[in-house]
Amino acid sequence: MHKSLRQDELAATELPDFAVVTGTNGSGKTHLLEMLSSALFGDRRDEPLLRTTPVHFVGAGDLLHLTNPSAVHLSGQVTDGGHQLQRGLAALAEQLRQEPTIEGPEPLSLRKRVATAAVEDGIITYEAMSQLLARTLGDPWELPPTALASFAPLAGAQMNPFADNIGLIFRNWLQAHLLNDLQELRAARGQDSYVRSPEQMRVLIGPPPWEVFNLTLHEVGLPFEVTAPPDLLDPYSVNAELIRTAADGPTAAPASRLRMEDLSSGERTLLGLALVLLNITATGMTPRVPSMVVLDEPDATLHPSMVKNLVTMLQNVFCQRFGVRVVLTTHSPSTVALAPPESIILMSREGPRLRPVSTDTALAALTVGIPTLSVRSENRRQVFVEAPFDERAYTTMWALLGNRLNTPITPVFIASGGDATTEGRSGGNTAVKNFVRRLREAGSRTAVGIVDRDNSEGSPDGIFQLQGRYAIENLLLDPLLLGVRLVNIGAVTMDQLGVPINTTTHQLIREHCQQLVDHICTSLDMADGETRDVLYLGGQTARVPSMLLNLQGHDLNDRVLHRFGKLHRDRGASPYGHLTAIFHTTVREYPEAVPQALLELFASVTR
């Protein structure tokens, strides 16, 4: 019966880019995934070097299998890249000679046709081919392998992103630097050479891949790191180690070294996801990125505390960053509860087979026959806030950061006035205090409120404020958080900050925090006067002008919009759209840039 899903039923349902399909056993979820994996979906990507395949099916346990102790290789063997590249280019040239030239006003030469085909086939990256063509006026396939060797590490073969390529990626990066060193030696001897500067090398092959992988492990929520492999003294192999990071940083003690068999099944599943992301993002490689990934119960081995990391990574990185559609099936109430409400699809045996439903409806379908499942009201906190904007902001940021507190209490943020479309940020202070006072007088001890700072003395019982900030605008427009947003939309450049142009945003936050803060405050004419030390969730501290923290929220907002005009593109029809972009996007992608004061506020309202 579960095999009875028809193509017309599937076609009649428009699945969101991130879809969580749930339902009882026998409703046909696995059959749905089989149908999707056999369908053809168009290429949704604009980047020509990230080649797409239609659909990739990830069965139950496939991510676990990817980290099988016998499958993961933190080592890579080197092939003779120069000869391999020369043979590939020569074969393409021979093939294209036999094909008729496409007529046109400017027919392509064989040289350009071979170059284009080589990039399209993943024999060499666009960047490497561009430099190769600029280096020689002749046909590149006629060059000796020794002349092609320095381009070979950038000639990544087509990779399956759902296979283990970590050793190969590490090796390619190291070999590229080794060959560049050899070119420097040739130049010192007066021989023909092509030496790239450190900046050119970073543009071509990116930062060290083990640093990228470790950032991904952090995003997935795993307390692991991969050690930097030793210098490539042996040009034919490379080795690295997986270690568990201590609370105060990584340690190289023997006890911290990990083997795959040391990891839980849940840890191995998330590690497999991190490997997939490394394959997709590796510079100089050419992965075939699927337009859709369908996953059959990837959460089967995960503790509920790990499910949120899985959902966040699939939605934020696969869907939003790489444009890959994701469909996953689940029987887990935890996964349904943590999934975005708009992503939930219920599959039934009868009636409409696939239909969008609310979280509560999906949970009810999964928990039929379990009448004792309930949410204890004493573990909920009604948190009244001044306006609908505050409600949306705090609700979103709690969903992103609340698990850091490890509390059983769940706050429910409620606007004290306005409706769902209200954007105003004034007039709710008194209403919040009145709501909380009346509820507490009636015996409720779980009702609390968050208000902006005003001129009144002290705060009534159950009323909290953002410590050291006038209002929520002073948090969202914190110079570090605002600076990260401005960097990401191109309103502030690395050159303006005086840092290397290839600095990643995560590196900027960790290593150049004060420079970014100072630049933003100077741009806002707030750099002078008293400062306060502000602690951020990434552990870094910056000196922030007290004026910025204490200015009335709407005045600070007006000043920021006047100085940074590019923020207006985030506003759309909403006067607070630029602030929404910060808590929806910047806080989600760069939580280490969020002031610690927000987490302290959440801790206060959930006590």
Helices (H), 410-512: 429-441, 472-476, 479-488, 494-497, 505-511
Q: Can you read off the two tokens belonging to residue 403?
A: 């698990």
Q: What share of the chain is helix, strand, coil (3-state, %, to 5)?
A: 50, 15, 40
Q: What pLDDT does residue 71 have?
A: 41
User: Judging by DSSP bridges, how do beta strands 242-246 and 286-296 pair with one another?
Assistant: unpaired
Biggest CA–CA distance in the chain, Å, is: 89
Average pLDDT over residues 300-312: 78
pLDDT digits (tens, 9 = 90+) for 365-403: 876 555 444 444 456 788 889 988 898 899 889 988 888
pLDDT digits (tens, 9 = 90+) for 51-62: 344 566 666 566
Q: What is the dihedral of CA 362, 367, 371, 377, to 10 degrees?
A: -50
Asked if pLDDT for residue 431 goes beyond 70, the answer is yes
Asked if pLDDT for residue 206 goes beyond 70, the answer is yes
Instruction: Say how far residue 383 (Cα) sits from the centre of its chain.
Output: 30
User: Judging by beta carbons within 10 Å of its beta carbon (0-12, 13-18, 19+), is residue 363 exposed, middle or buried?
Assistant: middle
DSSP letter, residue 324:
-
388 or 303, which is more confident: 388
276 or 125, which is more confident: 276
Q: Can you read off the two tokens belonging to residue 588?
A: 């989600």
Q: Can you read off the two tokens belonging to residue 254?
A: 């023997």
Average pLDDT over residues 118-140: 74
221: helix, coil or strand?
coil
User: Judging by DSSP bridges, how do beta strands 325-330 and 18-22 pair with one another?
Assistant: parallel
Q: pLDDT band at 81, cuts 50/70/90?
A: low
Asked if 153 and 176 count as a contact pair (C-beta separation under 8 A), the reply is: yes
Q: pLDDT band at 531, cuts 50/70/90?
A: very high
Window from 177-191, 247-261, 575-589 with minimum mean pLDDT: 247-261
Average pLDDT over residues 318-346: 84
Asked if 598 and 466 count as a contact pair (C-beta separation under 8 A), the reply is: yes
Q: Distance between CA 61 and CA 74 in Å, rounded?
A: 21
Q: What pLDDT does residue 224 have?
A: 80
Asked if 606 and 405 count as a contact pair (C-beta separation under 8 A), the reply is: yes
Q: Distance between CA 163 and CA 381 in Å, rounded?
A: 45
Q: What pLDDT does residue 528 have?
A: 84
CA angle 449, 453, 454 (to 5 degrees): 115
DSSP 348-388: -SSSSSEEE--HHHHHHHHTTT-TT----GGGEEEEEESSH
pLDDT digits (tens, 9 = 90+) for 136-175: 777 888 877 766 765 665 444 444 554 555 766 777 777 7
Q: What pLDDT does residue 476 have?
A: 95
pLDDT digits (tens, 9 = 90+) for 547-603: 999 999 989 999 999 999 888 877 665 677 889 889 888 898 899 999 999 999 999
Window from 177-186, 353-362, 373-382, 593-602 with minimum mean pLDDT: 373-382
Spell out the residues 6+ positions from residue 498 whose beta carbon is closer than 8 angstroms to its own.
515
Average pLDDT, the chain: 75
Q: What pLDDT does residue 520 have?
A: 95
Q: Distance between CA 111 and CA 138 in Å, rounded?
A: 8
Q: What pLDDT does residue 1 have?
A: 38
Spatial CA neighbour of 227 closest among 204, 251, 207: 251
3-state secondary structure 529-557: CCEEEEEECCCCEEEEEHHHHHCCHHHHH
Spell out the residues 6+ positions from residue 488 whose beta carbon is closer than 8 angstroms to its own.
505, 585, 586
CA distance to 35, 367, 428, 433, 435, per residue, from 462 (Å): 54, 35, 16, 9, 11
pLDDT digits (tens, 9 = 90+) for 89-102: 888 888 888 776 55
Q: Distance between CA 514 and CA 517 in Å, rounded?
A: 5
Q: What pLDDT does residue 240 have?
A: 66
pLDDT digits (tens, 9 = 90+) for 506-520: 999 999 999 999 999
First to last CA, the chain: 50
Q: Distance between CA 418 and CA 506 in Å, rounded?
A: 38
Spell out the residues 6+ positions from residue 243 whose beta carbon is closer than 8 angstroms to its own.
224, 225, 226, 227, 250, 251, 252, 256, 257, 258
CA distance to 464, 474, 543, per residue, from 602 (Å): 10, 16, 23
pLDDT digits (tens, 9 = 90+) for 22-35: 886 655 555 665 56
Task: Tell how many helices (H) and how many strands (E) occur in the chain.
Answer: 27, 18
